[in-house]
Amino acid sequence: MNDSQNQQALDAQLDSLIQPFKAVASPLQEFLSDLYIKYKPLTEGKVADYIPELAKVDPDLFAISVVTVDGKVIEVGDIDQLFTIQSASKPFVHGLTLEDCGRDFVLSRVGVEPTGEAFNAIVLDESSGRPYNPMVNAGAIATAGLVKGDDPTAKLNRVMEMFRNYCGRDLYVDMSVYTSERSTGHRNRAIAHLMLNFGMVDQNLDDMLDLYFKQCSVMVNCHDLGVMAATLANNGRNPMTNARALDSQYIKDVLSVMYTCGMYDYSGEWSYRVGLPAKSGVGGGIVAVVPKLLGIGVFSPRLDSRGNSVRGVKVCEELSSHFGFHSFDLHDDHSKFLSSLTRTRST
Ligand code: GLU
C-alpha cells in the first residue's frame, strides 16, 4: 500500500471504532471525535528534546478533553496518558502567589506585559527591572520565589495541594524529568541571577529554581488539564469536587495574563484567532478557558517552532470558531454549544 492508501485504511479503521459510539453520542462528542480523526494524521512539528526524558514520549499521542462548569466531561483519545505539565503550570502558580502575596506585591515583582520574545529569553523590563510577565520563564521563576512556606518542602506541598484542588486528585513530580531540568537548566539559572542583580528576587536562588523545576515536572493527563481549565472557567471552584482552587477575586488576573501572554510568542495571533485565555507547555499540553462555560485540555507532543502543540492549536482554533468561543464574538450566546451537549443522534 502507498502512503495515501495507508492513510485511508487508518481513517477507515478509526472511523469504524468510533461509529458505534457516535450513534449515541452528543453532537459535541461527535465533533471531538471528528477533530480527532481529522488531526490524528497530522505529524507536523517536533517533540521537545532539550532533555532526553521529553524526547522519549510517543509523538503520536493525542487527546482532547472538554469539561463544563457544571461537570460534564466530553473526551476523546489518549485521555489517561501522563505527561509533564511544564509551562502549563505557570498560570496556576501565579494564582497561588496572588493569594499568598496580594495583587500589588506580585505586580511589583513581575509585570503583565507580553514580550514578543522566546519563553526563555534572558531579558527584563529595563525601566522596572521586573520580568515581563509570569508566563515566561523569568516571571515564572520569580513567581515560584513568592510561594509562601517555612521551607522548600512546605512550599512544594502547597503547590501540590493547589494542583490537587484544581484536578481533584493527587499529582506527583516525575523525579527523572526534574533531575534533568535541574542539571540542564543553566539558562534559567542565568535568568535568576539577573533578577537577583535587579533586586527582583531574594537570595535563595537554588530553592526558587528548584521549586520552578519541580512545578514543571508535575505529571498530568489531558483530563486533568480539562478539569483545571474548567476550574478557572468556574470562577476558581472545581466543578467535579466543588473544592476551591483559587480565590475568585484573582481569576481575572490569571485569565488576563493567560490571554495576552500564554502561548509563547504566538500569543498575539492566538488571542486574535482563538480569543481564549490559554497556556501551553513543551510537554505538548494546552489549557484553554471559556469563562463561565468550560475548560479545554489538549495533549499532543509535537510542537511548532514557538513551542506550542501543533494539533493542540488546530483543535482549539476549530472549537473556538465552530462554537463561537472567541471572547469578543459578541454575536454568540453559546446556544450552539449548549445544545451540542444535550441532543443525541437518532441513527
Ligand atoms: N521546564 C521548561 C524550562 O524552563 C519549561 C518549558 C516550557 O514548557 O515552556 O525550560
What is the CA 47 to chain-centroid distance, rounded?
Answer: 16
Ligand 1 centroid from CA 18, angstroms? 35
Q: Whole-angstrom Cα distance, residue 125 to residue 159?
A: 27
pLDDT value of residue 290:
98
Whole-number percent of the chain with pLDDT over 70: 93
DSSP state letter for 88: G
> What's the whole-number mean pLDDT along residues 99-127?
91
The answer to the question of residue 20 being in a domain is: no
User: Nearest residue CA, atom 9 of ligand 1?
Assistant: 87
pLDDT tens-digit readout, 184-213: 999 999 999 999 999 989 889 999 999 999
The answer to the question of residue 47 being in a domain is: no
**Does ligand 1 have an atom closer than 6 angstroms to the CB of 188?**
yes
Ligand 1 centroid from CA 136, angstroms? 9
User: Nearest residue CA, atom 7 of ligand 1?
Assistant: 87
pLDDT value of residue 178:
98
User: Nearest residue CA, atom 2 of ligand 1?
Assistant: 86
Ligand 1 centroid from CA 90, angstroms? 10
**Does ligand 1 have an atom closer than 6 angstroms to the CB of 138?**
no
User: Nearest residue CA, atom 4 of ligand 1?
Assistant: 137
The answer to the question of residue 96 being in a domain is: yes
**Does ligand 1 have an atom closer than 6 angstroms to the CB of 216?**
yes
Determine the residue type at 211. Answer: L
For residue 329 the three cell numbers come to: 464574538
pLDDT tens-digit readout, 15-33: 666 555 555 689 999 999 9
pLDDT value of residue 325:
97
Reported as a pLDDT band with limits 50, 70 and 90, residue 347 is very low
- For the residues of 111-154, what is the DSSP string, one character each? -----SS-TT-----TTT---S-TTSHHHHHHHHTT---SSHHH
**Does ligand 1 have an atom closer than 6 angstroms to the CB of 137?**
yes
pLDDT value of residue 346:
44
pLDDT tens-digit readout, 70-98: 999 999 999 999 999 999 999 999 999 99
The answer to the question of residue 265 being in a domain is: yes
**Does ligand 1 have an atom closer than 6 angstroms to the CB of 68?**
no
Reported as a pLDDT band with limits 50, 70 and 90, residue 108 is very high
pLDDT value of residue 245:
98
Domains contained in the chain, number: 1
pLDDT value of residue 126:
83
Q: Which domain holds residue 234?
A: 54-340
The answer to the question of residue 247 being in a domain is: yes
CATH number of the structural domain spanning residue 221:
3.40.710.10
pLDDT value of residue 181:
96
The answer to the question of residue 45 being in a domain is: no
pLDDT value of residue 147:
98
Q: Which atom of ligand 1 is nearest to the CA of 87?
A: 8
Ligand 1 centroid from CA 78, angstroms? 23
The answer to the question of residue 48 being in a domain is: no
pLDDT value of residue 18:
56
The answer to the question of residue 249 being in a domain is: yes
- For the residues of 216-271, what is the DSSP string, one character each? HTBEE-HHHHHHHHHHHHTTTB-TTT--B-S-GGGHHHHHHHHHHHTTGGGHHHHH
